[in-house]
A = this chain, B = another copy of it.
């Protein structure tokens, strides 16, 4: 499973070196290539099978117009990103969506990874103060 946080940088050609740990997990438990999709303020990377399962699960639920738009946005903004020399190439469209400049944070989310603009990630983390986080941890007994 994907866990941990990694600071990386995107080079001028929109390439990102996947952290070695992430690469190992991807090779050993899933299967490249990585499907990169838009997510909540960031990008999400799934193995193809897991991406499709997620997609079809949402699709199978009762239809609403909002969900139609959501599914279009997800599949329209998904790209197959093969690993070349340990790196993936992020398409311009996705780079802009996630507002990625140079510094990137990759977060392991068990079955997926999240790819964040470092700046945005800092903001997102800062929006939940440690005290509140502690409370939630206590609440869920983790």
Cβ of A83 under 8 Å from chain B: no
Interface residues on A, range: 35 or more
Q: What distance in Å separates the Cβ of A29 from its nearest Cβ neighbour in chain B?
A: 12
Cβ of A93 under 8 Å from chain B: yes
Set of chain B residues within 8 Å of A52, measured between Cβ atoms: 1, 110
Set of chain B residues within 8 Å of A77, measured between Cβ atoms: 5
Pairwise interchain contact A41-B134, C-beta atoms closer than 8 A: yes
Pairwise interchain contact A73-B5, C-beta atoms closer than 8 A: no
Pairwise interchain contact B41-A142, C-beta atoms closer than 8 A: no
Which of these, B70, B72, B128, B138, contacts A107 with CB under 8 Å?
B72
Pairwise interchain contact B39-A137, C-beta atoms closer than 8 A: yes
Cβ of A44 under 8 Å from chain B: yes
A125 to B69, CA, bound (A): 9
Residues of A in contact with B (beta carbons under 8 Å apart): 1-5, 35, 37-41, 44, 52, 54-56, 58-59, 66-80, 93, 97, 107-110, 114, 125, 128, 130, 133-138, 140-142
Instruction: List 6 additional A-B contacts (Cβ < 8 Å) besides A3-B79, A40-B137, A97-B130.
Output: A3-B75, A3-B76, A38-B133, A38-B137, A54-B142, A70-B136
Nearest 6 pairs of A and B residues by beta carbon: A3-B78, A40-B138, A76-B107, A70-B136, A40-B134, A5-B76
